[in-house]
Amino acid sequence: MIPRIELQELVAFARQHSSFYASHFASVPEQVTALTDLPVIDPAHYWKGSQDLDRWPVLTASLGNALVFKTGGTTSDGKLSVFERREWQTLVEDFGRSLTGQLNKGDQVANLFFVGDLYASFIFTHDALAHVQPGVVEFPFTGHVDSTVLADSISRHRINVLAGVPAHLLTFAAWLEHQGRRLECIECLLYGGESLFPAQLQLLGRVFPNVRVASMGYASVDAGFIGASHRDCALGEHRMAQGHSVLEILDEQTGEVIEECDRTGRLVMTNLTRRLMPLIRYPVGDRACWRELNRTPARKFALMGRSADSQRVRVGILTLLPDEIGDTVQRLTGSDDWQLVIEQAGTKDILRLKWAPEAEQPASADTDRRLHHALIEHYPLIEQLNADHLLDVEIHCCTVQDLSRHPRSGKRQRVLDLRVYDSPPMEHR
């Protein structure tokens, strides 16, 4: 819960300084007593115009002392997210303090996140590690480090913690297994940006026999710090970041606030620390359920996959933007009937783009090939993940009846994430 005075101040500030929120809250009374008094943000409307930061109506001030990152796509088409520098410091300090429970004094941490092209993950992790108490030793390799160099450095410098995205950690693990190497010195593996699944955990356990696997925390470049990872969290579980953000879980069809445990809905966040780019009842794009009763301090929740209306879809290190994919399908096929289906087979993600042709546009194998080529052209990381045996992309022409709809509302589900998120926790060693 947000104290009434703090909520009132946040809403009044956004109304006064952001033309987006002035319009968004036009029908909201001046006095606000609860988050449910406020409408949920439509992400498509929120991000409209964000490519021009001088005119983006969401911002409450012009950029003067800020950091700019991208949230997905390429530099030219990815949405831009901005932090005033004091807001960034608050973010990394809070996140770093939350990491303290996952790390021990003097841990030797390899930072394997990615840097460059406006990506935030490496810089974010680097800054957050500086606020872990007591301190740790960081080796800032980035995700571009050669596997041989990384393996030799781990042994030479007695590195005992790896931090990175699952796709890169799995690529390194597969390389180690192919080389017949096991790194018994690795005691902790901290992942972020995507979930891990049982077959992937088995691979990691084979090459890192003494490892404890845990999320390093739940954050995104658009929403900021969403959930903290504590030792009592199973894989996929996090705790609310008290004082930094407030979370709600809403029924995906009715918008009803869900308070009971184990009922899945879409996750909506209100950030309490950002003023330059306010986020008030912002859908983060994930589905979740509560694991603890209402009013439990730092209430625990579990992620349950991407929501059907997500503005971006993470598959390993790949970020897909459904709106862009829809534009591509429309351009190449003339059809607006399509769906992304994400499944998993062993350590590999399966991404299926299903589309239904219009009556006057008969299907052809050539159309499927052109769609496949267009996806790879727009998302070149697909080829890298495919070469690493982490992703298969399939194009399926189908009938409209083959496209899944929500069982209650009948609405088309643009994104259908069928990966199983209730995976058993990896044994703590």
Residue 427: CB atoms within 10 Å: 10
Place of tokens 């030793």: 137
Integer Cα distance of 94 and 13 in angstroms: 23
Q: Which of 239, 106, 191 is nearest to 426 (CA)?
A: 191
What topology does CATH give the domain 103-215?
Rossmann fold (3.40.50)
Q: Give the pTM.
A: 0.82
Per residue of the chain (429 residues), what is the pLDDT tens digit? 687 889 999 999 999 999 999 999 999 999 999 999 999 999 989 999 888 999 999 999 999 999 999 876 443 456 889 999 999 999 999 999 999 999 999 999 999 999 888 889 999 999 999 999 989 999 999 999 999 999 999 999 999 999 999 888 998 999 999 999 999 999 999 999 888 888 889 999 999 999 999 999 999 999 999 999 999 999 899 999 989 999 999 998 899 999 999 999 999 999 999 999 999 999 998 999 999 999 999 999 999 987 766 777 778 778 788 888 888 998 998 888 888 998 888 888 899 999 988 765 666 778 899 999 999 998 888 998 898 888 999 999 988 878 887 665 556 678 888 887 765 444 434
User: Are the beta carbons of 282 and 223 closer than 8 angstroms?
Assistant: yes
- Residue pair 53/187 in contact (Cβ under 8 Å)? The answer is no
CA angle 382, 384, 140 (to 5 degrees): 115
Q: How far is CA 295 from the centre of its chain?
A: 26
CATH (residue range 313-413): 3.30.300.30
Give the separation between CA 205 and CA 184, rounded to whole angstroms.
10
Spell out the long-range contacts of 358-361 with Cβ–Cβ below 8 A and sequence spacing 24 or more.
358/333, 358/334, 361/333, 361/334, 361/335
Topology of domain 4-88+218-306, CATH: Rossmann fold (3.40.50)
Q: Is 103-215 the same fold as 4-88+218-306?
A: yes
Q: In the chain, where are the structural domains located?
A: 4-88+218-306, 103-215, 313-413
